[in-house]
C-alpha cells in the first residue's frame, strides 16, 4: 500500500505558507510506505487535519489526512484495524477520526530521539500489537504506525517488534523497514540500539537453553539413582570405601 510519488524537493517550504505550520520537514517524506511483507505493519508519517492545508496551493494527492489514508487503503483492498500514534503532541489531527473509520487507536507519547531509552514504551507497543495480531477477529487487518515523519520512532518500534517477537535479525528488520518505508532511518543510535536488543535476546535464549540442559542432566541423574538396584548401590559404596 503506497502512494507512487516522490515528495522530495516538492513543497519543501509549504510550512511557511498561510495557515497552520507543517511539522518541520514533514513535506519531504512520502506519505505512506508499503505494508511490510511478512508482518502486519504499514508505516506512514502523521496525517494532518484540513486546517493545515487552508491557504496552501498544494496538490490534493499531497494533502495527507486520515481520510486520504483510508481511501488509499480501500483502493489497495487493504484494511487498517489499529493505528499507533507515536507523536508527542495532539495537535496534528483529531483522534476521533480513526473511530469514524472503524479503526482502533492507541496513543503512545514518544519524545523524539530517546524512544530507545524507554523500554516501558517498547513493551507497551509490543503488548498492544501482539494482542491485536493474535485476536482472530483482526485476521488480515493491518497495524498502522506513525510518528511525525513515520521514520525513526516508527522504525525503531516496528523493528523491535520484528526482532523480539517475529525473530528477525536486527539487520534484516532494519533493511526490510527501510525498503518498505522508502526512506532510510536517520537516527544511527536507534540502529545501534536495535543490534543491542538482538544481542540481549540471544543472550537470554542461550541462558535459558543452558538452564534447560542442566535441568535435563539433573533429572537423568535422579532417574538413574531411583532405578538402581539397592544391592548395586551397596557394592558401589563398598568399592568407594
Cβ-Cβ contacts under 8 Å for 215 (sequence gap 6 or more): none
> What is the model's pLDDT at position 62?
80
Q: Which of 153, 176, 181, 187 is catalytic?
A: 153
pLDDT in tens, 162-186: 999 999 999 999 999 999 999 999 9
Which of 40, 147, 159, 160 is an active site residue? 147
Q: How does pLDDT run across 186-223, given as a tens digit for each residue?
A: 999 999 999 999 999 999 999 998 887 666 556 556 66
pLDDT of residue 79: 98
Strands (E), 66-175: 80-85, 104-107, 142-146
Whether 147 sits among the annotated catalytic residues: the reply is yes
What pLDDT does 130 receive? Answer: 98
Q: Which of 77, 55, 74 is nearest to 66 (CA)?
A: 74
Q: Report CA-CA distances (Å) from 160 to 22, 113, 149, 175, 187.
A: 29, 16, 18, 13, 15
Mean pLDDT of 137-144: 98
- Cα distances from 131 to residues 10, 114, 127, in angstroms, run 39, 25, 6
pLDDT over 90 (residue 133):
yes
**According to the model, what pLDDT value does residue 13 have?**
44
118 belongs to the catalytic site? no
Q: What is the pLDDT of residue 9?
A: 42
Amino acid at each position: 500500500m503506497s502512494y507512487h510519488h516522490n515528495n522530495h524537493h516538492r513543497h519543501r517550504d509549504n510550512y511557511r505558507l498561510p495557515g497552520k505550520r507543517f511539522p518541520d520537514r514533514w513535506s519531504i517524506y512520502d506519505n505512506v510506505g508499503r505494508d511490510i511483507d511478512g508482518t502486519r505493519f504499514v508505516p506512514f508519517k502523521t496525517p494532518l487535519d484540513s486546517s493545515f492545508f487552508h491557504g496552501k496551493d498544494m496538490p490534493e494527492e499531497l494533502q495527507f489526512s486520515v481520510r486520504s489514508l483510508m481511501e488509499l487503503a480501500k483502493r489497495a483492498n487493504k484494511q487498517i484495524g489499529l493505528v499507533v500514534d507515536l507523536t508527542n503532541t495532539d495537535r496534528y489531527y483529531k483522534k476521533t477520526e480513526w473511530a469514524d473509520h472503524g479503526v482502533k487507536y492507541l496513543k503512545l507519547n514518544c519524545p523524539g530521539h530517546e524512544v530507545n531509552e524507554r523500554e516501558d514504551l517498547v513493551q507497551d507497543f509490543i503488548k498492544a500489537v501482539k494482542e491485536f495480531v493474535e485476536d482472530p477477529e483482526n485476521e488480515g487487518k493491518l497495524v498502522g504506525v506513525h510518528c511525525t515523519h513515520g521514520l525513526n520512532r516508527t522504525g525503531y518500534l516496528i523493528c523491535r517488534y520484528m526482532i523480539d517477537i517475529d525473530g528477525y535479525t536486527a539487520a534484516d528488520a532494519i533493511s526490510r523497514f527501510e525498503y518498505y518505508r522508502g526512506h532510510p532511518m536517520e537516527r544511527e543510535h536507534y540502529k545501534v540500539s536495535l543490534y543491542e536488543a538482538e544481542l540481549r535476546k540471544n543472550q537470554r535464549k542461550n541462558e535459558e537453553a543452558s538452564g534447560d540442559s542442566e535441568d535435563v542432566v539433573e533429572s537423568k541423574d535422579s532417574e538413574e539413582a531411583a532405578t538402581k538396584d539397592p544391592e548395586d548401590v551397596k557394592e558401589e559404596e563398598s568399592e568407594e570405601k
